[in-house]
Structure 1
Amino acid sequence: MADEKRAVPPKLDLTPEQTAAMRRAAAMDAPDIAALPPGHPVAVLRAENAAMNARIDALAHDNELPEPPADFVERFLALNAVRTHYMKKEELVMPLLYQYGVTGPSDVMWRDDDAMKKELGTISRSLQEDAGNAIIYRGRIRTLLAGLKSMTRKEDAILFPLSLRYFSDEEWYAVYDDAIDMGTAFIAPHEPWEAAEVWRKAQADAAAAKTFENGKIQLPTGELAVRELRAMMKLLGVDITFIDAADHLRYFENEGKVFARPKLALGRPVYDCHPTQIVPVVKNLLADFKAKRRDHMTIFRRIAGKPIGVRYHAVYDDDGTYLGAVEFVQDFTEALEHFQK
């Protein structure tokens, strides 16, 4: 992927908010980055850069010693956390700049990021094979460390100020929201950005209030027509069974066809779908799910000569309310054959 040529996304039609932001960007003075509120994406990215630079300086010093310290390799490998930093920059910040037609800085940075990630991977693999290779790679390590540090200066001087000039508050809230799942690099999890948290709650409340609109199921991460959802579920190749909070079978997808699933079973108590000797096990499992004594159970065994995995998971709402249980049944024959080649 690193040496794969990236296609520049086409410039999109600007929304009124983006057009207004462009006008503001042309007129405004350089933003005061140091005054950003705690948790703001740029504040976090800059903190990551500062922490990485401290590590780079220490590694650069040790790289010039006749013999690198014993922990040199471990500290060098820790630099791979920069991939998280670059992922946030490349997946969240750069695409928004593209939408405003600002492509030059991002194109150059993306190319350089890819080259450095590739070099970082090459050197890391060599050092993992033999720590003594640190001396052999001394020149390449020196060049890589200089490149990584140079990129932090470019981000601070070009990318971040540009982004702050163009992006609206709501766009920054959206960047913050996505960045949470991506984590942080070189620093501890950051404190919440209060304004963005208010926005996130409002978004979550609005999404929860909508379940079906314009013929599509409304979900927190998008929308799907029922036929689209059904077509996707059929591609999974996994048996899925959902039991509601009252222990009634409400839904199944039987594409894996490990166990028979008659439609007549829909709406029945799940206990009616099992042999008598199994019913106490099922009752105990569901009771544990409801009481939150455990939230899953996994069983692997051969069924009809095939390696089958059966996973039971409790399903809870965002507020912790028990909604039911789901069973996944999967035939692992193909996966095992692949790894045994």
Structure 2
Amino acid sequence: MSELINNSEKRKELLKHMIQELHQGKAPEAVREQLIQLMQKVPYGEVVEVEQELISEGILDEKEVLKFCDMHTEALEGQIDQSNAKEVPENHPVDVFLKENKELLKVVQLIRNEIKSLIEINATSLSDPLLKIKGWFNNLMDVDKHYRRKENLLFPYLEKLEITGPPKVMWGKHDETREFLKAALETLEHSGEISPEELPSVYELVFEPALNAVADMTMKEEEILFPMSMDKLTDSDWYDIQEQTLEIGFCLYDPPAQWEPDGIKTSSKEKVEDLNRIQMPSGSFTKSELLAILNSLPIDMTFVDKDEKVKYFSQSKERIFDRNRAILNRDVKLCHPPSSVGIVEQILEDFKSGKETNAPFWIQMGGKFIHIEYVALHDENGEFLGTLEVSQDLTEKRKLEGDQRLLSYSKNTEDE
């Protein structure tokens, strides 16, 4: 056995044989037991190499690997050797992926616990709990951004290194997960039709596959994909990935700072941007000036584009409603509680059709009077561009009386 443990080629040949046995119908538990007896642990890099070789040699095609991917996971779970994995720096793109996984798993566990509790107590009323569960599944839909960053930013670098099979298989699993999550949300759209007696079956047939798909992918990433990618990609590659990340957005987590790799100049790009002024019809700004203006306005702003994706929010010091960058590129309907989604959809539809151009609301919140207004944005040709949400705390302004003229400022300073 020691000969196997210390010989990479022999380990890989044995692993190939075991994977082929899975495809021929051998139970994952039996393969797992054989793996433990003969090899104990499999280095993460060899798992990728074996899958790539099986595909490249034509022994298995990508569709077949995709079909049996979950069996591979079951057989290898807990048996991946990560002892030689590189340490992941704080705020590195992989660190962000890992932190997102933690948040995803928290939501998965919340849903599992809630449904388990409902089944155990034989709850008679499911309306409110299922509405809450729907909100959690909405949050899980954010995994799409996590997957798109892998598909569009990470996988191209692996493909340049001729690691093509495993990324394609993983992309296929992403699509499966997306479909499972959509099915869960579609079921929850009709939650009123789910009886307490039906809940266990709905959980097993609809919810659990979605939850398992999300959770299993985190294992595949953390035990195989990310350690291997850390070995293969350079700091320059990772920095390029980081620079493009905001175009897609984060998933349930907003990193507090950017990763700054040693030996790579990270500030030159910002300096160039500051030199290029943003030209408007009535003037111009540097990027820094425009950012300061937007963040100094006594209002909160959130911009949703014509495709209903959140693209921007202002970062004033005292925001009324919390925002973080995990919301960027998220479907705006998934950013609202399920109970208000219908209203949001109606507003957006009215804006797109031209029926309405604004929708004001005001609420009392924590002793404050908050004014919220949705405004339809159009270009000079009348084409719909998106929606701007503007929120403002008017509590103190509603108390104003009389005049406060410009000259009052001078008098106040003289008194001091």
Deviation at 1:187, TM superposition (A): 2.2
Contact 1:90–1:110, Cα closer than 8 Å, also in 2 = yes
Q: In the alignment, which residue of structure 2 is the partner of 1:84?
A: 145
Q: In the alignment, which residue of structure 1 is the partner of 2:333?
A: none
SS, match of residue 187 in structure 2: helix
SS, match of residue 145 in structure 1: helix
Q: What is the distance in 2 between the residues matched to 1:131 and 1:187?
A: 32
Change (3 A) 1:51 1:99: same
Corresponding position: 1:173 with 2:234: no
Contact 1:41–1:172, Cα closer than 8 Å, also in 2 = yes
1:189 to 247, 251, 255: 255
2:212 to 129, 143, 146: 146
Q: In the alignment, which residue of structure 1 is the partner of 2:99?
A: 47
Contact 1:73–1:127, Cα closer than 8 Å, also in 2 = yes
2:166 to 96, 100, 105: 105
SS, match of residue 330 in structure 1: coil
Task: State the identity %.
Answer: 22
Change (3 A) 1:58 1:244: closer
**1:1-341 to 2 correspondence within 5 Å?**
32-33=85-86, 35-64=87-116, 65-66=118-119, 67=123, 70=129, 71-133=132-194, 135=199, 137-138=202-203, 139-195=205-261, 199-205=265-271, 242=281, 328-332=379-383
Deviation at 1:30, TM superposition (A): 6.4
SS, match of residue 163 in structure 1: helix
**Structure 2: which amino acid aligns with 1:103?**
T
SS, match of residue 193 in structure 1: coil
Q: What is the distance in 2 between the residues matched to 1:79 and 1:331?
A: 36
Contact 1:173–1:199, Cα closer than 8 Å, also in 2 = no
Change (3 A) 1:158 1:329: same
Deviation at 1:131, TM superposition (A): 5.0
Contact 1:73–1:131, Cα closer than 8 Å, also in 2 = no
Contact 1:105–1:158, Cα closer than 8 Å, also in 2 = no
Q: What is the distance in 1 between the residues matched to 2:297 and 2:206?
A: 53
Q: What is the distance in 1 between the residues matched to 2:267 and 2:280?
A: 31
State the TM-score, normalizing by the size of structure 2. 0.43
Contact 1:123–1:137, Cα closer than 8 Å, also in 2 = no
Change (3 A) 1:241 1:203: closer
Deviation at 1:43, TM superposition (A): 0.6
Residues 143-188 of structure 1 show CA distances to partners (whole Å, capped at 9, x for unaligned) of 2211211110001111111211111111100111111343321223
Change (3 A) 1:328 1:103: same
Residues 50-109 of structure 1 show CA distances to partners (whole Å, capped at 9, x for unaligned) of 221122123123333324672222222221111111111111111111111101221111
Change (3 A) 1:208 1:111: same
Change (3 A) 1:132 1:194: farther
Q: What is the distance in 1 between the residues matched to 2:253 and 2:150?
A: 16
Contact 2:146–2:250, Cα closer than 8 Å, also in 1 = yes
Contact 2:158–2:229, Cα closer than 8 Å, also in 1 = yes
Contact 2:184–2:210, Cα closer than 8 Å, also in 1 = no
SS, match of residue 195 in structure 1: coil
Contact 1:59–1:72, Cα closer than 8 Å, also in 2 = yes
Contact 2:235–2:261, Cα closer than 8 Å, also in 1 = no
Q: In the alignment, which residue of structure 1 is the partner of 2:323?
A: none
Contact 1:183–1:189, Cα closer than 8 Å, also in 2 = no
**Structure 2: which amino acid aligns with 1:119?**
F
Change (3 A) 1:101 1:131: farther
Q: In the alignment, which residue of structure 2 is the partner of 1:253?
A: none
Q: What is the distance in 1 between the residues matched to 2:236 and 2:93?
A: 12
Deviation at 1:193, TM superposition (A): 1.4
Contact 1:30–1:161, Cα closer than 8 Å, also in 2 = no
Contact 2:145–2:251, Cα closer than 8 Å, also in 1 = yes
In the alignment, structure 2 segments of 5+ residues that lack a partner are 1-48, 50-81, 285-292, 299-353, 358-377, 385-416
Contact 2:96–2:255, Cα closer than 8 Å, also in 1 = no
Q: CA RMSD in A?
A: 4.2
In the alignment, structure 1 segments of 5+ residues that lack a partner are 1-25, 212-218, 220-239, 246-288, 295-305, 310-326, 334-341
State the TM-score, normalizing by the size of structure 1. 0.51
